[in-house]
Amino acid sequence: MPGKLGPIPEPTSPAVSRSMKGNRGKDTAPELTLRRLLREAGFPGYRLHWKKAPGRPDITYPGRKLAIFVNGCFWHRCPHCQPAVPKSHSEFWRQKFELNRERDDRKREELQRAGWTVFTVWECELKADPNAAVVQIVARLRDA
């Protein structure tokens, strides 16, 4: 199916195809981890992918105007772990990642213009030290 990038390349193997089909947009392991940590810190009451918030962040606290994006390192090109670009169809992937980054920037700017505080939590941060990844968010929630 053609998109902004032209036709989507065929997977190089059945294993690659299975792996790509297994990628989820919602309720990912990093999202579930962050949501658990927020509840444990005493901050339930968030909204998931709230349609009324510009850009539909992964987690929002509407009354506090706080938005959280939980980014997968591969898809959003993490600045911390800098994942490699796939070797096959590399030009397609470079364009795809660039469009993802542009969309992420647009969403963040739109929320900030509307007066929201925006946090981005990276998958690798949650794996390395889950509690450290949420310290700033919890501090902001306590101040609100």
pLDDT at residue number 58: 97
pTM of the model: 0.83
Calculate ∠ Cα 107-2-56, nearest 5°: 20
d(Cα 40, Cα 111) in Å, to the nearest integer?
26
Predicted local confidence at residue 26, as pLDDT? 80
As a whole number of angstroms, the distance between CA 67 and CA 111 comes to: 8
pLDDT in tens, the chain (144 residues): 456 766 766 666 666 555 555 556 688 999 999 999 999 999 999 999 999 999 999 999 999 999 999 999 998 999 999 999 998 889 999 999 999 999 999 999 999 999 999 999 999 999 999 999 899 999 999 997
At residue 27, the pLDDT reads 85
pLDDT at 133: 87
* CA-closest candidate to residue 105, choices 125, 79, 130: 79
Helix (H) or strand (E) holding 114: none
Q: Into which CATH architecture does domain 26-143 fall?
A: 3-Layer(aba) Sandwich (3.40)
Residue-range domain boundaries for the chain? 26-143
Those residues whose C-beta lies under 8 Å from the C-beta of residue 34, and which sit 6 or more positions away, are: 59, 68, 70, 121, 126, 130, 133, 134
Phi, psi for 80 (deg, rounded to 5): -85, -50
67 in helix, strand or coil? Answer: strand
